[in-house]
């Protein structure tokens, strides 16, 4: 009788320990799933467009929704000197949409445009940088464009490398096509020092 009681107690103890181990493993697995992952992709190309024309097109965020793939809305809502904030909506309605706010810093001397997400539900962090270098030909530009994403969603993490490469490539192509569609004149200038606050 005592032996049966002892055996039963040992069995229950082992079962309890087993479920504690299972619970701990589940928590560890869930923790791994929720870990943020950061990836970067760089595109380097020579585009058939004037460097200043491309720079003006990149910093004209208000027009993004007219030509950028998956961009359905774009608006600059605050500007101070060479820094401005813009809201963008991307997606395939009604399947999904994502609204986010980015801070954009522009450098008209070095032809650099940098963006950093300030608010986003889909991304923990989203940054990009354009560096444009004129070549010896006035209608050619060496482009270095990098994008960096940090995400926690395991579904996005699983395809992040492919997504980054695809998005970066399509963006560069879209800007080149836009420049080819819109005439450019050397004396075109945009006043970047207006404070819209």
Helix ranges (H only) for the chain are 2-33, 51-59, 154-158, 160-181
Q: Which two tokens stand for residue 76?
A: 């600059």
- Check: CB of residue 56 under 8 Å from CB of residue 179: no
Same domain, 110 and 159: yes
Same domain, 87 and 164: yes
178 Cβ contact partners less than 8 Å away, ≥ 6 residues apart: 57, 67
Q: Which domain CATH number covers 113?
A: 3.30.530.20
Residues of the chain with confidence (pLDDT) below 50 = 2, 6, 22, 28-33, 189-197
pLDDT of residue 197: 41
Same domain, 24 and 72: no
pLDDT of residue 152: 81
Q: How far apart are CA 91 and CA 85, in angstroms?
A: 20
How many structural domains is the chain composed of? 2
pLDDT of residue 150: 86
Same domain, 58 and 116: yes
Is 192 within a domain? Answer: no
pLDDT of residue 91: 78
pLDDT of residue 16: 58
Residue 5 domain boundaries: 1-33
């Amino acid at each position: 009788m005592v032996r049966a009681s002892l055996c039963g107690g040992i069995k229950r103890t082992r079962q309890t320990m087993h479920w504690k181990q299972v619970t701990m493993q589940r928590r560890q697995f869930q923790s791994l799933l929720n870990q943020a992952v950061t990836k970067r992709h760089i595109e380097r190309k020579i585009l058939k467009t004037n460097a200043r024309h491309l720079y003006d097109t990149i910093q004209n965020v208000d027009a993004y929704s007219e030509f950028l793939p998956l961009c359905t809305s774009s608006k600059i809502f605050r500007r101070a000197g060479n820094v401005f904030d813009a809201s963008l909506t991307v997606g395939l309605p009604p399947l999904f949409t994502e609204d986010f706010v980015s801070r954009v810093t522009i450098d008209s001397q070095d032809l650099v445009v940098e963006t950093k997400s300030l608010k986003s539900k889909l991304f923990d962090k989203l940054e990009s940088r354009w560096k444009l270098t004129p070549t010896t030909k006035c209608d050619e530009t060496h482009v270095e464009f990098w994008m960096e994403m940090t995400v926690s969603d395991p579904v996005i993490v699983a395809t992040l490398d492919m997504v980054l490469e695809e998005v970066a490539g399509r963006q560069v192509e879209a800007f080149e096509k836009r420049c080819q569609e819109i005439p450019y004149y050397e004396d075109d200038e945009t006043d970047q020092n207006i404070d819209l606050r």
